[in-house]
């Protein structure tokens, strides 16, 4: 038996030996191949916006990697040699570009041929967000002795609410051709996200300005620097109400730059090509840098030429004097008694032009009770103020119109309050700034009424105006109908206006009668509206019944609202069936705030657009007082601007965009 086992063991050993010898023979053959095996399992993975890691399997003394932006590697090939590892980090790439890679093995002594190329692997570098809100402003300074011109550009970027990207340099490239200018940015300027530059920058030149992070272009703006020192003449014309009839004055100012002040002699003023007047420039005028010319014709186009001692032209300007009030208008100057004019029961003038200055209506001993139409107008709210102290304008009966236009109105209480039965065709606030007692906590409204049945305000408009109150008042700032009043507001149009700071909303009427009503809000900006909750609403119109329901409608378009409370009511009607139609298009609200409705029957949340950030992120500088010179409701969120522009839309009071 032992001999049998021994024989079997010997046979098995012989077989194992034969197999081992064969495997050794195969390994020897592989080493002695005439060409290296091609690398396999090649992969490419993006690491950053400028790098891709390439890896593979294979054996060779070194590897050679080809990179191209073309899939077939037919051109634009860059080769990296002497790679000793089975991976390579391709750096310095452009963002947003697809790169293709292939690898082959290389023998160090050349005794074996290089391998065939591997399969092609590819990856795309990601695109990083660009730095937002890049902007540039330029200015120019000059000297005459010695003559020099310095152009300075203040460049700013980013958003204060975001961590700044560390800009390392700024490159100015003239768009018309020329060598670029490169400026290093200090770490302090990079954190502040602003830098002031001047060396080598030319006036009157369009530059393509790139913000660089290392060698990557992360932001851009195109800016044309201010014009060079060309002598200029400017003219500002205003009406002169001290003359009868009203005339015009013009104030001329000049920038001479390289022209000595002593060389200028006169200003020649002409109209329709004819020299009307030559005005000498005195030594005092030269010292002041300006002169005023009086007694020009209102509503007339003029040309003016600044001339030197030899009669040569130094600079010129064209201008048009403002139109004077028509003969149908009564002109009231600040020193006149406007109170006496408006309270006169026999007043025949319906259109009254208020000359620039402050006009005060003092209601301590006298009231203004309108029984006929009235238009109070001026040229600009920046120049003319109408102040109501201790009272308001009242009226009764048939009044075709009450219009306030281009005035800065300051109220201690209501602007207009009707207690008797009236029938007003048009009530219009146009181009005004209206301060509804913002300095105190008392109530104030553009139009307040406590009239009984039968009163009608047919057409109420607010256009191109700023209206604000105080967050402590407890009334609505556009229309307020007291409890028990059944006055009928038939049509309300609010357009291209800004409303701010009120505890309740814009419109309230306690009347529950079956009346028609048409409300339109278009291109309005509404800020800190409705600080009180409960049943208060932006539009709180209690009309009820079904006979006129089809004649009651609300249209909300191209407007944005931010509530003083994080929860407030947008619409309220007498019942779910009290309104015929409610529409909304491009009407924005803040998603951090919850909107509610008097009834689910006119819940329009599905037709509104929500904004997910804060007022400070949407607007440049929102303030409770929109008339403050520092206030700005211009939309600064570039994402919102892109959304609107791509749809051909605009949002809010468009005057903030000017």
Task: Read off the pLDDT of residues 158-181 as tens digits, 9 standing for 90 and up.
Answer: 877 777 778 999 999 999 999 999
The answer to whether 464 and 434 have CB atoms below 8 angstroms apart is: no
**pLDDT given for residue 484 in this prediction:** 67
The answer to whether 268 and 319 have CB atoms below 8 angstroms apart is: no
Instruction: With a cut of 60, say whether residue 7 has pLDDT above it.
Output: no
* Residues with Cβ within 8 Å of residue 52, at least 6 apart in sequence: 44, 45, 46, 89, 90, 93, 99, 101, 123, 125
Q: Which two tokens stand for residue 65?
A: 């990697």
The answer to whether 125 and 100 have CB atoms below 8 angstroms apart is: no
Instruction: With a cut of 70, say whether residue 508 has pLDDT above it.
Output: yes
CA 656 to chain centre: 7
Instruction: Tell me how far CA of residue 633 lies from CA of 158, 162, 585, 615, 630, in angstroms.
Output: 19, 20, 20, 9, 10
Instruction: Tell me how far CA of residue 657 lies from CA of 224, 433, 561, 653, in angstroms.
Output: 20, 17, 17, 8
The answer to whether 321 and 297 have CB atoms below 8 angstroms apart is: yes
The answer to whether 396 and 454 have CB atoms below 8 angstroms apart is: no
The answer to whether 17 and 11 have CB atoms below 8 angstroms apart is: no
Give the residue, 437 or 117, on which the prediction is more confident: 117
- Residue in the block written with tokens 């146009």: 430
- Per-residue model confidence as pLDDT tens digits over 529-564: 987 766 789 999 888 888 888 899 999 999 999 999
- Per-residue model confidence as pLDDT tens digits over 347-377: 998 999 999 999 999 998 888 999 999 999 9
In the chain, the largest separation of any two C-alpha atoms, in whole Å, equals 149
**pLDDT given for residue 558 in this prediction:** 98
**pLDDT given for residue 6 in this prediction:** 36
Q: In what helix (H) or strand (E) does residue 503 lie, and over which residues does it extend?
A: none
* Integer Cα distance of 519 and 523 in angstroms: 14
Instruction: With a cut of 80, say whether residue 135 has pLDDT above it.
Output: yes
The answer to whether 212 and 170 have CB atoms below 8 angstroms apart is: yes
Question: Which residues lie across from 83 on neighbouring strands?
Answer: 63
* Integer Cα distance of 582 and 493 in angstroms: 15
- Residue in the block written with tokens 């609505």: 476
The answer to whether 307 and 336 have CB atoms below 8 angstroms apart is: no
**pLDDT given for residue 11 in this prediction:** 40
- Per-residue model confidence as pLDDT tens digits over 383-410: 999 999 989 999 999 999 999 999 999 9
φ, ψ of residue 647 to 5 degrees: the values are -105, 0
- Per-residue model confidence as pLDDT tens digits over 173-232: 999 999 999 999 999 999 999 999 999 999 999 999 999 988 888 889 999 999 888 899
* Integer Cα distance of 412 and 173 in angstroms: 57
> Collapsing DSSP states into helix, strand and coil, what is residue 435?
strand
Nearest residue to 409 (alpha-carbon basis) of 424, 427, 394, 430: 430
Local confidence band at 570 (pLDDT 50, 70, 90 cut-offs)? very high
Q: Which two tokens stand for residue 532?
A: 């009180």
> Collapsing DSSP states into helix, strand and coil, what is residue 633?
strand
Q: In what helix (H) or strand (E) does residue 617 lie, and over which residues does it extend?
A: helix 615-618
Nearest residue to 436 (alpha-carbon basis) of 520, 506, 513: 506
* Integer Cα distance of 591 and 184 in angstroms: 42
**pLDDT given for residue 534 in this prediction:** 67
Local confidence band at 416 (pLDDT 50, 70, 90 cut-offs)? very high
**pLDDT given for residue 50 in this prediction:** 86
Q: Once rounded to an integer, what is the mean pLDDT over residues 519-528?
A: 97
Local confidence band at 54 (pLDDT 50, 70, 90 cut-offs)? very high
Instruction: With a cut of 90, say whether residue 132 has pLDDT above it.
Output: no
pLDDT, mean over the chain:
89
Running DSSP on this structure, what letter comes out for residue 68? E
**pLDDT given for residue 533 in this prediction:** 65
* Residues with Cβ within 8 Å of residue 418, at least 6 apart in sequence: 394, 395, 396, 424, 447, 448, 449, 450, 451, 455, 487
Q: How many CB atoms lie within 10 A of CB 179?
A: 9
* Integer Cα distance of 621 and 611 in angstroms: 17
Categorise residue 204: left if φ over 0, alpha if ψ from -120 to 50, beta otherwise: left
**pLDDT given for residue 17 in this prediction:** 38
Q: How many CA atoms lie within 13 A of 481 on its CB side?
A: 25
**pLDDT given for residue 452 in this prediction:** 66
* Residues with Cβ within 8 Å of residue 401, at least 6 apart in sequence: 373, 374, 375, 424, 425, 426, 427, 428
Local confidence band at 582 (pLDDT 50, 70, 90 cut-offs)? very high
Question: Which residues lie across from 286 on neighbouring strands?
Answer: none
Give the residue, 11 or 252, on which the prediction is more confident: 252
Nearest residue to 486 (alpha-carbon basis) of 537, 541, 538: 541
* Integer Cα distance of 365 and 390 in angstroms: 10
Nearest residue to 465 (alpha-carbon basis) of 435, 428, 429, 501: 429
φ, ψ of residue 245 to 5 degrees: the values are -70, 175
Rg (CA), the chain: 39
The answer to whether 125 and 49 have CB atoms below 8 angstroms apart is: yes
Q: Once rounded to an integer, what is the mean pLDDT over residues 474-489?
A: 83
* Residues with Cβ within 8 Å of residue 281, at least 6 apart in sequence: 264, 265, 266, 267, 291, 306
Q: How many CA atoms lie within 13 A of 466 on its CB side?
A: 23
* Residues with Cβ within 8 Å of residue 419, at least 6 apart in sequence: 394, 396, 449, 450, 451
Instruction: With a cut of 70, say whether residue 8 has pLDDT above it.
Output: no
**pLDDT given for residue 90 in this prediction:** 96
- Per-residue model confidence as pLDDT tens digits over 262-305: 999 999 999 987 768 999 999 999 999 999 999 999 999 999 99
Q: Which two tokens stand for residue 632?
A: 């700005």
* Integer Cα distance of 610 and 606 in angstroms: 10
């Amino acid at each position: 038996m032992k001999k049998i086992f021994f024989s079997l063991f010997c046979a098995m050993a012989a077989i194992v030996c034969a197999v081992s010898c064969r495997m050794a023979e195969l390994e020897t053959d592989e080493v002695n191949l005439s060409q290296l095996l091609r690398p396999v399992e090649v992969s490419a993975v993006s690491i950053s916006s400028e790098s891709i890691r390439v890896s593979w399997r294979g054996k060779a003394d070194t590897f050679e990697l080809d990179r191209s932006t073309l899939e077939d590697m037919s051109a634009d090939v860059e080769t990296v040699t002497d790679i000793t590892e089975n991976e390579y980090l391709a750096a310095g790439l452009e963002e947003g570009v697809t790169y293709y890679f292939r690898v082959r093995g290389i023998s160090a002594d050349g005794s074996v041929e290089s391998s065939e190329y591997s399969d092609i692997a590819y990856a795309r570098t990601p695109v990083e967000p660009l730095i937002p809100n890049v902007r540039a402003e330029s200015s120019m300074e000059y000297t005459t002795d010695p003559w020099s011109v310095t152009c300075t550009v203040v460049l700013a970027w980013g958003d204060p609410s975001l961590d700044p990207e560390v800009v390392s340099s700024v490159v100015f490239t003239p768009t018309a051709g020329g060598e670029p200018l490169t400026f290093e940015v200090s770490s302090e300027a990079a954190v502040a996200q602003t830098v002031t530059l001047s060396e080598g920058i030319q006036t009157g030149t369009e530059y393509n300005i790139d913000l660089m992070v290392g060698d990557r272009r992360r932001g851009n703006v195109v800016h044309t620097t201010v014009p060079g020192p060309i002598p200029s003449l400017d003219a500002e014309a205003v009406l002169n109400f001290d003359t009868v009839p009203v005339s015009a004055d013009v104030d001329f100012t000049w920038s001479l730059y390289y022209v000595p002040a002593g060389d200028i002699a006169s200003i020649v003023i002409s109209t329709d090509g004819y020299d009307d007047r030559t005005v000498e420039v005195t030594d005092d005028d030269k010292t002041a840098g300006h002169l005023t010319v009086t007694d020009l014709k209102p509503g007339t186009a003029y040309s003016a030429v600044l001339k030197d001692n030899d009669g040569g032209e130094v600079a010129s300007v064209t201008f048009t004097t403002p139109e004077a009030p028509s003969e149908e208008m009564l002109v009231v100057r600040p020193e006149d008694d406007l109170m006496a004019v408006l309270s006169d029961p026999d007043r025949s003038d319906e259109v009254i032009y208020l000359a620039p200055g402050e006009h005060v209506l003092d209601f301590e001993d006298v009231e203004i009770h309108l029984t006929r139409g009235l238009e109070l107008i001026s040229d600009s709210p920046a120049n003319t103020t109408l102040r109501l102290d201790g009272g308001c304008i009242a009226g009764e009966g048939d009044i075709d119109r009450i219009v306030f236009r281009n005035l800065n109105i300051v109220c201690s209480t209501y602007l207009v309050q009707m207690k008797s039965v009236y029938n007003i065709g048009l009530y219009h606030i146009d181009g005004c700034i209206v301060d509804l007692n913002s300095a105190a906590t008392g109530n104030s409204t553009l139009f307040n009424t406590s009239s009984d049945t039968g009163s009608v305000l047919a057409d109420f408009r607010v256009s191109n105006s700023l209206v604000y109150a105080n967050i402590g008042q407890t009334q609505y700032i556009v229309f307020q109908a007291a409890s028990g009043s059944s006055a009928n507001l038939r049509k309300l149009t609010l357009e291209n206006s800004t409303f701010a700071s009120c505890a309740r909303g814009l419109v309230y009427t306690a009347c529950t009668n079956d009346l028609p009503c048409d409300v339109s809000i278009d291109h309005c900006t509404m800020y800190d509206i409705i600080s009180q909750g409960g049943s208060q609403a932006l539009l709180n119109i209690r009309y009820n019944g079904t006979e006129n329901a089809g004649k009651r409608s609300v249209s909300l378009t191209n407007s944005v609202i931010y509530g003083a409370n994080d929860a407030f009511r947008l619409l309220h009607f007498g019942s779910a069936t009290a309104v015929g139609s409610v529409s909304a298009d491009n009407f924005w609200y803040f998603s951090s705030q919850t909107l509610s409705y008097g009834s689910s029957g006119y819940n329009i949340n599905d037709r509104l657009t929500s904004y997910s950030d804060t007022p400070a992120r949407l607007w440049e500088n929102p303030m409770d007082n929109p008339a403050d010179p520092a206030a700005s409701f211009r939309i600064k969120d570039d994402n919102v601007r892109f959304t609107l522009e791509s749809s051909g839309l605009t949002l809010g009071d468009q005057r903030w965009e000017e």
